[in-house]
Amino acid sequence: MTGLDDRVVLVTGAGGGTGAVHCRRFAEAGAHVIALDHPAGAEGLKQTAAIVERLGRQCVTGLADVGDPGAVTSAVDSAAGRLGRLDVVVANAGIHTPGGPTWLIDPAEWQRTLDINLTGVWHTVKAGVVHIGDDGGSVIIISSTNGLRGTAGTAHYTASKHAVVGLAQTLANELGPRRIRVNTIHPGAVGTAMVRNQDTYRRLRPDLPDPTEADAAEVLRARHLLPVPWVESVDVANAAVFLASDEARYITCTQLVVDAGLTGKTT
Amino acid sequence: MTTRLAGKVALITGAARGIGRAQAVRFAQEGADIIGLDVCGPVETVSVPASTPAGLQETARLVQQAGARMYADVVDVRDLDGLRAATDRGWRGSVVWMWCAPMRGSPLGDRRSNSAKNLGAQCLTST
pLDDT at A11: 98
- pLDDT for residue B8 is more than 80: yes
Return the exposure string of A217-240: e unless at least 16 CB atoms fall within 10 Å of the residue's CB, then b: beebeebbeeebbbbbbbbbbbbb
Q: Name the residue type at position A240.
A: A
pLDDT at B90: 87
pLDDT at B93: 78
As to burial, measured by CB atoms within 10 angstroms (0-12 exposed, 13-18 middle, 19+ buried), residue B45 is exposed
Q: How far apart are CA A202 and CA A225, in angstroms?
A: 23
Instruction: Tell me whether residue A157 is one of the annotated catalytic residues.
Output: yes
Indicate the pLDDT class of residue B109, thresholds 50, 70 and 90: very low
- Which DSSP state fits B102? G
Indicate the pLDDT class of residue B115, thresholds 50, 70 and 90: very low
CB A245 within 8 A of CB A2: yes
Q: How far apart are CA A181 and CA A174, in angstroms?
A: 10
Tell me the β-bridge partners of A140. Answer: A90, A183
pLDDT at A193: 85
pLDDT at B106: 38
What pLDDT digit, counting tens, does each position of B66-99 carry? 999 999 999 999 999 999 999 998 888 777 666 5
pLDDT at A241: 98
Indicate the pLDDT class of residue B2, thresholds 50, 70 and 90: low
* Annotated catalytic residue, options A110, A157, A230, A242: A157
Alpha carbon of A16 to those of A42, A94, A120, A138, A233: distances in Å?
10, 12, 17, 22, 10
Q: Shortest CA distance to B72 belongs to which of B5, B7, B8, B16?
A: B16
CB A88 within 8 A of CB A26: yes
pLDDT at A214: 95
What pLDDT digit, counting tens, does each position of B9-60 carry? 999 999 999 999 999 999 999 999 999 999 999 999 999 999 999 999 999 9
pLDDT at B98: 60
Residues 6+ apart with CB under 8 A from A2: A29, A30, A241, A242, A244, A245, A246, A247
pLDDT at A195: 87
Residues 6+ apart with CB under 8 A from A20: A14, A44, A47, A48, A51, A233
pLDDT at A98: 87
CB A33 within 8 A of CB A90: no
Torsion over CA: B101, B103, B108, B110 (sign): positive
Give per-10-residue mean pLDDT for chain A (267 aa): 85 96 98 97 97 98 98 98 98 94 97 98 98 96 98 97 98 98 97 88 94 95 96 98 97 98 93
As to burial, measured by CB atoms within 10 angstroms (0-12 exposed, 13-18 middle, 19+ buried), residue B76 is middle
